[in-house]
Amino acid sequence: MPCCFDGLSARLIELAGFPLTFMSGFAVAAARLALPDTGLLSYGEVLDQGRAILEAVRIPVIGDADTGYGNVANVQRTLAGYARAGFAGIMIEDQLAPKRCGHTLGKEVVGRDEACARIRAAVAARDAGADILIMARTDARATQGLAEALWRLQAFADLGADILFLEAPRDEAEMRAFCSAVPGPKMANMLEEGLSPLLPPSHLAAIGYKIAAYPLTLLNSAVYAMQEALADLRDGHVPRRRVPFATIRQLVGFDDYDQLLARYAAPAGQPDAPPRAE
């Protein structure tokens, strides 16, 4: 599951044949405002970005919702808003707001009661009719150790979370412990240069994971390509590695747009139809 940050990156994921994608909060903060993933984007900004992504693709999209953007009432509003927008899933975590990227220093998590209350509120909103799956995430491994993280994940599963996510396990042994100790579908977060080992998808599946997310692979690759192109331009050269203009036109739908206009154009030599009488 490569992760997206805008409509174009989501469309590229879909065209590459992947069955789903995830709207990465880190990548959205970086691409939309060039800001760090430290809870600086509001619910409205993230939902707006999500709507643009959802309009660009037909594959399922899971949305990062951080801590739910407030208390349990905010969690329920966030889940309902994501469901109305068309997200297939929503991720809610147990960090203390403002949250931060799970592979950076300085994280804090809320207590067990508050963490469980968030998931309980989300499950209640889902069960009241919201057509969306809940991914429950814990960052407690970094602050209170693996045992506490596994306790929370089991509690989230018992409360009715659909997918479970242990953020930043330190080695394969911890990843195996997570998959064997807690029931239900699980997601692995494959962040290059992150805290967890990068394992092949087949290996992750053998351990027990159902989803392998690549949160920054596309963003990192895009930044690399843009920096390379800018260096070429600075040196007075046309960038060497780029897609043709025709490819971009096709990706954003120029061909379909022109065909639509042609379909409704008046035949050559015929006057426009007269206005209809009211």
Domains belonging to the chain, first-starting first, are: 3-215 (3.20.20.60), 224-263 (no CATH)
The Cα 183–Cα 150 span in angstroms is: 11
273 — pLDDT class (breaks 50, 70, 90): low
Q: Which two tokens mark 100?
A: 């931060």
Summarize the confidence of residues 221-243 as an average pLDDT.
96
What pLDDT, on a 0 to 100 scale, did the predictor assign at position 193? 95
**What dihedral do alpha carbons 240, 245, 248, 254 form, nearest 10°?**
180
274 — pLDDT class (breaks 50, 70, 90): low
The Cα 117–Cα 140 span in angstroms is: 16
Considering only 23-27, 173-177, 242-246, 272-276, which range has the smallest mean pLDDT? 272-276
267 or 149: which carries more pLDDT confidence?
A: 149
Cis peptide, bond prior to residue 98, ω within 30 of zero: yes
Question: Can you tell me whether residue 163 is helix, strand or coil?
Answer: strand
The residue assigned the tokens 């195996």 is: 176
Summarize the confidence of residues 120-141 as an average pLDDT.
97
Backbone φ/ψ region at 39: left (φ over 0), alpha (ψ -120 to 50), beta: left
